């Protein structure tokens, strides 16, 4: 049956839908607040009904009927199989190897998928401080795949991020700080790493060397426009064409079931 | 050991000395001992050293009032209701607060080691990040890793080779053992057994890791009642030193099965926290301008609070309007 694509949708709707399509059925997903939550909840209602969600405040496989406003929300724990705490989330679930997919956000990213959510400028004399790491680098370090959902702006897609909060594919190995492949830093703890970045302009993936390339461009944009919105030299030669549009059913689920109160999708 | 001592909010806050090392219950904007933090602001505490697995609205109240000297943590903000921790950020930028950043999972490891009486816990979380950049060890730069303060480890972390299973390099994260854990809990028994509802966050670890524990309880219940279901409790009475019984003490943060987050109040505070003047006006109205927690609740009003009250089945407010629909 031909899909009934929506003709009228907002940038965040496509972000949520494209992100939901990254979830494989059966995945154990560790998600952050906001769009990542919408994406996993939409995936559970469409293509990945057997996927489950862990939130870092300690709810494991919750089945919220009302959208949580944050990962510590009482709503996360409704019908959960376990309501524990952070030790369970970070060590009992993540460090022990259950997590297939991490769903995260970021303020800045570089071509290797290193993400900054800590400061603007030199960390020792910052111009601005963001929230800080939260669980972003932890989830990203031991999930088998990580998807970042971000705003596309030239100043956010940088040659080098001001501070590596969350680990990409090429990283400093301490104490020397020499840049090496992620596998050299994580050794036998290596599980995977950033697999996709989804913005309001396109979907990006990483090649075998851990370098970001444009995979699909969202309807209404060109690959060149996306390249112009990066400070590094984005590889657009592998672009497969347009990102699949949201269907009418997906938009209805987002607005009438996932975020029926209009919290993240006003 | 033995039963905790019942004290008033003012007496409890007076136990804290300038420079003391504290940690709190809760998670970002949930189950924070807000009334206690307001009282510390009124009492003019200075140079507090906070270890927080994560920060939140309470951190910002303390930072804006100039109470914090050192903040070791990973995150500060008000979630959906205020995206940054403006007061803490201002303190980091102007140098009045020493900030030591860990990742969330590493911060959990610090408290977990502290709770279990271990000097460190190994973890593979967040390797290869600037959190581990030796240039960014702010406590070392301040000369505070010289062993003179027994609560500050000699190193921010260590990297060792696993000699037992040969898994390669792994981090060792030092324990945190604060002088005080200030815990907001939904219930405490008359002999001090502590209960929280739903997610436990790191409250269990915070209680065990700290030298002394103050519990601010929504209600005190008969010990016989709380012992009927011991699997729902998080700590025995002998782990608690002081108890304050104080309804709505977590407002404007939420408490599962008691009340929801006060989104409007939190948004207004976040706007105010963006400037020193804004913070001062806000604090003059809501902290210094109310002499007690009772006066604060009176000012909020019954209808305002009633709207936040949790549905006793769902655990959160099902009547408050949260979004645009």
User: Which of B101, B129, B322 shows the shortest C-beta gap to A166?
Assistant: B129
Residue A106 placed within a domain: yes
Domain contains A250: yes
Catalytic residue ranges of A: 56
In a domain, A108, yes or no: yes
From the CA of A168, how many Å to the nearest CA of chain B? 9
Interface test with B, best of A66, A67, A115, A132 (most B CBs within 10 A): A132
Confidence of residue B21 (pLDDT cuts 50, 70, 90): very high
Q: What does pLDDT average to over chain B?
A: 97
Q: What contacts B157, CB < 8 A, 6 or more positions away?
A: B106, B132, B171, B172, B173, B174
pLDDT higher than threshold 70 for residue B1? no
Average pLDDT of span B54-69:
98
- Cβ within 8 Å of B, A 93-152: 94-95, 118, 123-124, 126-138, 141-142
Q: What average pLDDT is seen over chain A? A: 96
Give the one of B73, B108, B127 whose C-beta lies nearest to A90's C-beta.
B108
Task: Give the CA distances from residue A18 to residues A91, A153, A242, B301, B308, in Å, rounded to whole numbers and listed in that order.
Answer: 29, 19, 12, 45, 35
Confidence at residue B2, expressed as pLDDT on a 0 to 100 scale:
78
- The gap between the terminal CA atoms of chain B, to the nearest Å, is 52
pLDDT at B69 over 70: yes
pLDDT at A230 over 70: yes
Mean pLDDT, rounded, for B149-172: 97
> Average pLDDT, stretch A236-246?
98
Residue A254 domain flag: yes
Q: Are A101 and A148 in contact (CB under 8 A)?
A: no
**Alpha carbons B245 and B35: distance in angstroms, whole number:** 11
Contact in structure between A217 and A242 (CB atoms under 8 Å) = yes
Nearest CB to B92; choose among A129, A167, A189? A129
Q: Which backbone phi and psi does B82 adopt, to 5 degrees?
A: 170, 110
Query: Does residue A6 lie in a domain region?
Result: no
Q: Is B127 on the interface with A (CB under 8 A)?
A: yes
User: Is A266 a member of any domain?
Assistant: no
- Strands (E) in A32-177, as ranges, are 52-55, 59-60, 82-83, 101-105, 108-110, 115-116, 119-120, 128-129, 145-149, 157-158, 170-173
Q: Which among A178, A170, A243 is positioned nearest to A204, based on CA atoms? A: A243
CATH number assigned to the domain comprising residue A150: 3.40.1080.10
* Mean per-residue pLDDT, A77-91: 97
The rounded distance, in Å, linking the Cα atoms of A99 and B64 is 38
Range of the domain at A85: 11-258
B35: confidence class by pLDDT, cuts 50, 70, 90: very high
Neighbours of B114 (CB within 10 A): 24
Distance CA B135, CA A115 (A): 19
Q: Do B131 and A137 touch (CB under 8 A)?
A: yes
Helix (H) or strand (E) holding B22: strand B21-24
Q: What is the pLDDT of residue B228?
A: 98
From CA B168, how far away is CA B73, in angstroms rounded? 27
On whether residue A32 sits in a domain, the answer given is: yes
* Residue tagged 């016989």 (tokens): B224
Query: Does residue A1 register a pLDDT over 80?
Result: no
Please compute the mean of the pLDDT values over residues B188-196 and round it to a whole number: 98
What confidence tens digit (pLDDT) does each residue in A7-48 have?
999 999 999 999 999 999 999 999 998 999 999 999 999 999
Q: What is the pLDDT of residue A237?
A: 98
**Could you tell me how many helices (H) and strands (E) chain B has, helices first?**
12, 13
User: Does the residue A226 lie in any domain?
Assistant: yes
Q: What is the ipTM of this complex?
A: 0.97
CB contacts, 8 Å: B202 with chain A: 85-87
CA distance linking residue A119 with residue A133, whole number of Å: 10
Domain count, chain A: 1
User: Going along A138-237, which residue ranges are E strands?
Assistant: 145-149, 157-158, 170-173, 178-181, 193-198, 202-206, 212-217
């Amino acid at each position: 049956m031909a899909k009934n694509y929506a003709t009228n949708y907002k940038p965040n709707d496509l972000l949520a839908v494209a992100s939901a399509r990254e979830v494989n059925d059966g995945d154990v997903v560790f998600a952050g607040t906001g769009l990542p939550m919408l994406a996993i909840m939409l995936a559970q209602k469409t293509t990945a009904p057997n996927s489950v969600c862990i939130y870092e405040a300690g709810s494991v496989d919750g089945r919220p009927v009302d959208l949580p406003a944050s990962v510590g929300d009482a709503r996360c724990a409704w019908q959960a199989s376990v309501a524990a705490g952070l030790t369970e989330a970070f060590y009992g679930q993540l460090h022990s190897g259950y997590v297939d997919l991490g769903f995260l956000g970021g303020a800045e990213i570089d071509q290797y998928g290193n993400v900054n959510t800590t400061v603007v400028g030199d960390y020792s004399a910052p111009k601005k401080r963001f929230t800080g790491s939260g669980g972003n680098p932890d989830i990203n370090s031991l999930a088998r795949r990580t998807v970042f959902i971000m705003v596309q702006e030239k100043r956010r897609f940088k040659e080098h991020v001001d501070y590596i909060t969350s680990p990409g594919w090429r990283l400093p190995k301490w104490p020397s700080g020499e840049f090496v492949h992620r596998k050299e830093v994580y050794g036998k703890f290596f599980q995977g790493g950033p697999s996709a970045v989804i913005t309001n302009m396109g979907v990006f993936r990483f090649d075998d060397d851990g370098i970001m390339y444009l995979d699909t461009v969202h309807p209404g944009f060109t690959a060149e426009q996306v390249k112009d919105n990066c400070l590094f030299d984005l590889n657009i030669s592998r672009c497969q064409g347009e990102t699949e549009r949201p269907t009418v059913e997906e938009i209805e689920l987002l607005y009438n079931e996932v975020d029926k109160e209009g919290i993240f999708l006003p | 050991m033995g039963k905790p001592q019942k004290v008033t909010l003012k007496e409890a806050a007076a136990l804290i000395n300038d420079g003391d090392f504290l940690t709190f219950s809760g998670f970002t904007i949930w189950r924070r001992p807000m009334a206690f933090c307001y009282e510390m602001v009124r009492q003019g505490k200075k140079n507090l050293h906070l270890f927080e697995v994560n920060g939140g609205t309470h951190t910002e109240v303390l930072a804006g009032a100039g109470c914090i000297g050192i903040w070791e943590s990973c995150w500060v903000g008000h979630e959906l209701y205020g995206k940054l921790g403006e007061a803490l950020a201002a303190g980091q930028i102007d140098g009045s607060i020493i900030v030591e950043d860990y990742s969330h999972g590493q911060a959990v490891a610090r408290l977990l080691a502290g709770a279990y009486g271990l000097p460190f816990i190994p973890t593979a979380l967040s390797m290869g990040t600037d959190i581990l950049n030796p240039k960014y060890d702010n406590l070392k730069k301040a000369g505070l890793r010289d062993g003179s303060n027994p609560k500050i480890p000699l190193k921010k972390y260590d990297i060792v080779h696993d000699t037992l299973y040969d898994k390669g390099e792994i981090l060792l994260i030092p324990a945190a053992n604060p002088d005080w854990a200030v815990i907001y809990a939904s219930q405490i028994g008359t002999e001090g057994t502590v209960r929280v509802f739903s997610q436990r966050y790191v409250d269990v670890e915070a209680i065990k890791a700290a030298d002394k524990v103050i519990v601010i309880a929504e209600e005190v219940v008969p010990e016989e009642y709380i012992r009927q279901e011991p699997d729902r409790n998080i700590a025995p009475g002998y782990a608690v030193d002081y108890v304050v019984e104080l309804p709505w003490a977590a407002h404007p943060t939420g408490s599962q099965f008691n009340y929801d987050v006060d989104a409007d109040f939190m948004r207004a505070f976040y706007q105010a926290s963006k400037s020193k003047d804004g913070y001062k006006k806000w604090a003059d109205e809501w902290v210094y301008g109310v002499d007690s927690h009772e006066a604060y609740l009176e000012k909020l009003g019954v209808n305002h609070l009633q709207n936040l009250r949790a549905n006793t089945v769902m655990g959160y407010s099902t009547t408050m309007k949260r979004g645009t629909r």
